[in-house]
Amino acid sequence: MKKNMGGLDKTIRLGVAVLLAGLYFTNTITGTFALVAVIAAAVFTLTSVLSFCPLYTLLGINSCKVK
C-alpha cells in the first residue's frame, strides 16, 4: 500500500473520529446512528494511522506530498 493521505487529511480524520467517539461515549447520540458513528470513527482512525485511504485509490486522489 502506497501512502495517499497528507498530514491535513490525517488530522481532519482524527479530529472527526475523536468528535464522534466523544458524542458516543457521552450518550449524546444513540441507536443506529451511534453504531454508524463508531464504525466511521474506527475507519477514520485506521486510515489515518495507515496513511492510506482505499476510496482515494478508487477516485485517483493523492494528497500525500512525499513520494
> From CA 20, how far away is CA 65, in angstroms rounded?
28
3-state SS record for the chain? CCCCCCHHHHHHHHHHHHHHHHHHHCCCCCHHHHHHHHHHHHHHHHHHHHCCCHHHHHHCCCCCCCC
Q: What is the pLDDT of residues 1-15, one digit of tens each?
A: 889 999 999 999 999
In the chain, where the domains are located: 7-59
Task: Identify whether the C-beta of residue 16 lies closer than 8 Å to the C-beta of residue 44.
Answer: yes
Q: What is the pLDDT of residues 22-46, one digit of tens each?
A: 999 999 999 999 999 999 999 999 9
Query: Which three cell numbers mark 14?
Result: 482524527
